[in-house]
Structure 1
Amino acid sequence: MVWAIAVSPLVMVLGMITGLRRPAHWAAAAGVALAAVLIWWLPDFTLPGDVLATGAGGAGLLVLNAAAVMLPGVYLSQVLTRREVHRSLQEWVRGLPLAGPATIALVVAGIAPTVEALTGFGVSLLVTVPVLLALAPPATALRQAMLGMNIMPWGTLGLATVIGAALTGRETAAMGTATAVTSSLVFPLVTVWAALLTRPQRRFRTAVMAAGAGAALALGLLALNRAGVVQPAGVLAGLLTTTVGLVLCALRRSRSDAGAESAGRLLPPRTVLHAYGLVLGGIALTRAATAAGVPTLALHAGNASFALLSSPGLPLLAAALLLDRGRPHIPDARAALVRVGRPLLTLTGFVALGRLMADSGMLGELGTAVAGAPPLVAALAAPALGMLSGFITGSNVGGNALMMPLQERLAPSGAGLDAWFAALQNSAAGHAVFTSMPMIMLILAVAGDRAQTAGVTEHTLLRFGLRVAAAIYAALAVTAMALVSFA
C-alpha cells in the first residue's frame, strides 16, 4: 500500500482545486508540503542531499526557461493590444467574405492557433471571442472560443514541448514530432465540432470542410516538427492553414464579378503582418546565429538546460521594442509582471512537486504498482492521467512538470514506447487546458455582459468542456492503443 501513500500529494492537489476550489498555486504549495512531510516521515521515500541539490538546480532552469518566454510574450501581447494590432485582426476576420461555418473553421484551426502560439496565456481569446460573438449567439460563440484553445503543446512558442523534452532528456524536435502524431486526431475533431455548433443546413459538407481545415493544421505541425522547427511551429502551421483557406476562398470568389474586391479583403492588415513578421524574423535570425557558431550562453543543471540565444524570449522582446521604436513602455511592463506572477508561481510549485515525487521514489512506487498492468490498460490510462494534469494545473507546462516522469514509467517495455507516452502526456495535458477553470473564467471575462445576458456561466462552459474532453480522450486513447499494438 506504499503506492497509495505515494499518490497522496496528487490527490490533495486535485481535491483542493476541484473540491475546495482553491487557487492552483496554493494547491501546488500544499502538495509540496505533503511530499516533504512524507519524505521526512517514511523511510520508503529518501532524498539525499546531492540528489536534492541537482534536482533543485534542474527545476530552477525549467522555471527560468518558462519565465524567459512568458514575460516577453505577455509584454508583447500588451504592446499589440495598445497599438490595436489585435483590433485590426478582429476587424479583418469579421470582414472576410466567407460563410459562417467556414469562418468558424478558419478561426478555430488557423487564426486562434496562430495568435495563441505566438503569445500564449489565452491572449488569442482577446481576438477570437469578440469575432465569434459577432458571428453567433453568445452561448455558441463562447463554446467555439473554447475549442480554439487546443494548440497548447505549441502555445507560447512551444514552451510546453520544450519543457517536456527537457524533463525527459530528449531532443526537442523528437518530442515535437511525436506530439504532432499523438495530437493528429484532435485538431480535426475540435474544428468539426466548432463548425457544427452553427447548425448548418449542409452538415456533412460542413463537417468535411472543417475536418480538412483541422487536418491541414495537424499536417503542418507534423511537417514543421519533423523539420526541426518546433518553437514557431504553431504560428507557422496556423498561418499555413489560414493561407490555404484564404487561397481556396480567393479561387472560388475569382469566378464572380466581385473577385478582385474580395481578394483584396482576404489580405491581412499590414500592422498584423508587420508584428508577426518581426517575431518570426527574430526567431530565424537567432537560429541562423546559433547555426553559424555564435555561443548560445547556456546553463546546465541536472537534466535541464537554458540557452539564452536559443530561447524565443529574445525575439519576443525585440519585436515588442521595435514596435515601440526602441522605447520600453513601463505600464505594459508592470502589467506583464502582474499577469505572469501567479502562473509562474503556480508553475514553480508544480515543478517542485514533480521533482520531489520523482527524486524521492514516489513516482517509482506508482510505476511499480502499475508495471504488471496489460499494455492496453496502460495505453488507456496514459491520456487520462495527462488530461487530468492539464485540468488540475490549468497549464500544459504545469501538467508536464507534474506528470511527465510518471508517464515514462507507465510505458510498457517496447520499441521507444516511453518516448510515445511522454508525447501522449504533452498532448493530453495541452488539450485539457481549454476546459480548466482559469481558461473558462478568462473567456467569461472577455465576453463580459454578453455572457451574463445570455445566461452563460462557468458551470455551463465546464459541462460543455467535459463533453468535448471525453471525445478528445477517446481520440488520444485510440492513438495510444495503436502505438502499443504496433510497437
Structure 2
Amino acid sequence: MLGLITGLRRPAHWAAAAGSALAALLIWWLPQFELPENVLASGAGAGGVLVLNAAAVMLPGVYLSQVLMRREVHRSLQEWVRGLPLAEPAKVALVVVGIAPTVEALTGFGVSLLVTVPVLLALAPPATALRQAMLGMNIMPWGTLGLATAIGASLVGTRPLELGSATAVTSSLIFPLVAVWAALLTRPRQRVRTVVVAAALGGALSLGLLAFNRLGTVEVAGVLAGLTTTALGVLVLASRNGEAVPSGEAAHKGEAGHKSHALLPPRPVLLAYGLVLALIAVLRAATAAGLPPVALHAGGASFQLFSSPGLPLLATALLLDRGRLHGGDARAAAGRVLRPLLALTGFVALGQLMAAGGMIGELGAAVADAPPLLIALAAPALGILSGFITGSNVGGNALLMPLQERLAPGDGSLDVWFAALQNSAAGHAVFTSLPMIMLTLAVAGQQAQRGAESSMLRFGMRVACAVYAALAATATVLVLTAG
C-alpha cells in the first residue's frame, strides 16, 4: 500500500483494495494462516458495523459543512479572526490550536482548511501560510466529533472514555509543539516571548482535552477544548494589548462593538456550534433518563443510534435550513464522502482479514520477546506509518489498532496506553499524507506556488519526525513506569 500511494500515486481506496486482496491471497496460500467460516462471518459483521458507525457521522458532518459554507458561516468566522487585535505570531498560534481544532472537531474532513487557509494567507507568504495550515490539522483523534477515538475503542473492546483520556495524555506534548512551530514560522523578533505564548496556547488545548475527556464528553472534547483555548487566548492576549476585541457584526462594520459583547464571535457561528453541542447534551440526557437504545450488534462491535453524533449534526443542518433538506448540498456531501468511505471500508476489511486470519497474531508473537523499550520506540513509528498510508485517523486505527494493543508489553496494564499511542500517532500524521496536502493546495488555489506539493511533503516529514520523538518519549516513560 505504501508503494502504491507514494510511488504510483494511487488513491487510498485503490491501495486499500489491493492490500485486502493481497492479504486474502496470502491467507489462502500460506499454511500458517487460516480463516474459518465462523470467524470470517464474525469479522465481516464487525467490519460492517464499524463502517456504519463511520458513515453515520461522516455523511451528516459533511452535509453540515456544506450548509455552513452556503450560509457563509465559515466566511464570517474568517472575518472575525482577521479582526482580532493580536500580534501576528500570537494570532497564528491561536488559529492553529484554537480555531482550527474547533472547526475540525465539529465537521472533520479538512473543513477547517476552508477557514484557516484564507486567514493565514492574509498573514504570511503562501509557502509559510500553507505550512501553518498543515499544522492546524492536529486535532484528528477528536476530529468529526471523536470518530477515530470511538472506532478505535470498538476495535480494542474498551470504552471511548478510557481511550480518549489516555489519548489526551499521549498527545499532550504535540499541541505545544505544533503551536510553537507555527508561530516561529512567522520569524518573530521576540522569539522567546513568541515561544512562551504559543506553548501556553498549545498547553491550554492539551489540558482542555484531558479535562473534557475525563468528564466523559469524548465526542465534543475537541470542540470544547478548542473553544476554551480560543476564549482564553483572546481574553488574555487582547487584554494585554489594551484593546477590546470586536464582536462579529461590529468587526464586519469596522466598529469596536459593545464591551459586553466584545469577545463574542459572529452570531451565525455561535448558533451553529451551540446547536450541535446542545443537541448532543439533550440526547445524552434522554439516554440517561431511560430512552430505549436503538442498537445493532455484530462480531463484538455495536452501533447505537442515539449515542452517535450523526443525529445532532443532521438535526443542526435541518434546523439552520428551517427543516428543509437541500438537494445540492446532499449530493455534494455524498460525492465528498464516497472516496473516504470506500477507503475506510478497504482498510477495515484489511484489518479484519489480518486479525481473523492470524497475521496480527503472528506479528505480535514475532515481537513478544523484544525488549520493552524497543517496542516503545516501534509503536509510534507504526502508528505514524498507518496515518500516512491511509490519510485518515480512522483508517489508520482500523489498520493497526489491534496490533498495537497486542504489542503492549507486560501484564495488560499498558494495552489501552498502546492503543492510545496508535490513536495519537495516526491522527497527528494525517496532515503529512498526500491527500491532506492536495486538499490544502486546492483550498489555496492560485496562491499555491509551483512545486509546493513536494516542499510541503518534505516539511510534513520533518514535523512527523518531531511528532515521533514526542510520542516515543511518552511511550518510553509509560513502559519504564509500568516496569
Fold in common (TM above 0.5): yes
Q: How does 1:344-383 map to 2 (within 5 A)?
A: 344-383=341-380
- 1:418 alignment partner in structure 2: 415
Rounded Cα–Cα distance in structure 1 between residues aligned with 2:398 and 2:245: 56
The one-letter amino acid paired with 1:124 is: S
* SS across alignment from 1:266: coil
Shift of 1:249: 3.1
The one-letter amino acid paired with 2:398 is: A
Q: How many residues of Structure 1 are paired with residues of Structure 2 in the alignment?
A: 473
Query: Which of the residues 446, 462, 473 maps onto 1:478?
Result: 473
Rounded Cα–Cα distance in structure 2 between residues aligned with 1:94 and 1:177: 33
Query: Which of the residues 272, 295, 298 maps onto 1:275?
Result: 272
- 2:396 alignment partner in structure 1: 399
CA displacement 1:201-234 (0-9 Å, x = unmatched)? 0101100100000000000000111111100000
Contact residue 106 and residue 145 of structure 2 kept, 8 A:
yes
CA displacement 1:97-135 (0-9 Å, x = unmatched)? 111011001100100000000000000000000000001
Rounded Cα–Cα distance in structure 2 between residues aligned with 1:355 and 1:257: 51
Rounded Cα–Cα distance in structure 2 between residues aligned with 1:397 and 1:124: 18
Rounded Cα–Cα distance in structure 2 between residues aligned with 1:467 and 1:170: 33
Q: Does 1:161 align with 2:158?
A: no
* SS across alignment from 2:52: helix
Shift of 1:254: 4.5
Contact residue 435 and residue 466 of structure 1 kept, 8 A:
yes
- 2:216 alignment partner in structure 1: 228
Q: Does 1:252 align with 2:240?
A: yes
Shift of 1:395: 0.1
Shift of 1:312: 0.2
- 1:209 alignment partner in structure 2: 197
Contact residue 5 and residue 389 of structure 2 kept, 8 A:
yes
Rounded Cα–Cα distance in structure 1 between residues aligned with 2:88 and 2:150: 36
Rounded Cα–Cα distance in structure 2 between residues aligned with 1:349 and 1:310: 25
Rounded Cα–Cα distance in structure 2 between residues aligned with 1:456 and 1:207: 30
Rounded Cα–Cα distance in structure 2 between residues aligned with 1:31 and 1:256: 55
- 2:252 alignment partner in structure 1: none
Query: Which of the residues 165, 171, 189 maps onto 2:177?
Result: 189
- 1:461 alignment partner in structure 2: 456
Q: State percent identity of aligned pairs.
A: 75
Structure 2-normalised TM-score?
Answer: 0.96
Contact residue 245 and residue 262 of structure 2 kept, 8 A:
no
Shift of 1:356: 0.3
The one-letter amino acid paired with 2:326 is: H
Rounded Cα–Cα distance in structure 2 between residues aligned with 1:232 and 1:274: 16
Contact residue 95 and residue 265 of structure 1 kept, 8 A:
no
* SS across alignment from 2:448: helix
- 1:81 alignment partner in structure 2: 69
Shift of 1:267: 2.0
* Cα distance change on mapping 1:433 and 1:256 into 2, 3 Å: closer
CA displacement 1:74-116 (0-9 Å, x = unmatched)? 0000000000000000011011111101100110010000000
Shift of 1:256: 8.7
Q: Does 1:102 align with 2:90?
A: yes
Shift of 1:266: 3.4
Contact residue 85 and residue 243 of structure 2 kept, 8 A:
no
Query: Which of the residues 26, 49, 73 maps onto 2:37?
Result: 49
Rounded Cα–Cα distance in structure 1 between residues aligned with 2:177 and 2:195: 10
Contact residue 396 and residue 433 of structure 1 kept, 8 A:
yes
- 1:315 alignment partner in structure 2: 312
Rounded Cα–Cα distance in structure 2 between residues aligned with 1:295 and 1:125: 39
* Cα distance change on mapping 1:484 and 1:258 into 2, 3 Å: closer
* SS across alignment from 1:306: strand
Rounded Cα–Cα distance in structure 1 between residues aligned with 2:11 and 2:168: 31
Unaligned runs of 5+ in 2: 248-254
* SS across alignment from 2:297: strand
Contact residue 73 and residue 316 of structure 1 kept, 8 A:
yes
Q: How does 1:10-21 map to 2 (within 5 A)?
A: 13-21=1-9
Shift of 1:399: 0.1
Contact residue 78 and residue 116 of structure 2 kept, 8 A:
yes
Rounded Cα–Cα distance in structure 2 between residues aligned with 1:366 and 1:215: 36
The one-letter amino acid paired with 2:231 is: T
Contact residue 232 and residue 280 of structure 1 kept, 8 A:
yes
The one-letter amino acid paired with 1:346 is: A
Contact residue 84 and residue 246 of structure 2 kept, 8 A:
no
CA displacement 1:57-81 (0-9 Å, x = unmatched)? 0000000000000000000000000
Rounded Cα–Cα distance in structure 2 between residues aligned with 1:96 and 1:183: 28
Q: Does 1:134 align with 2:122?
A: yes
Unaligned runs of 5+ in 1: 1-12
* Cα distance change on mapping 1:223 and 1:444 into 2, 3 Å: same
* SS across alignment from 2:302: strand
CA displacement 1:378-430 (0-9 Å, x = unmatched)? 00000000000000000000000000111111111145111110000000000
Contact residue 125 and residue 443 of structure 1 kept, 8 A:
yes
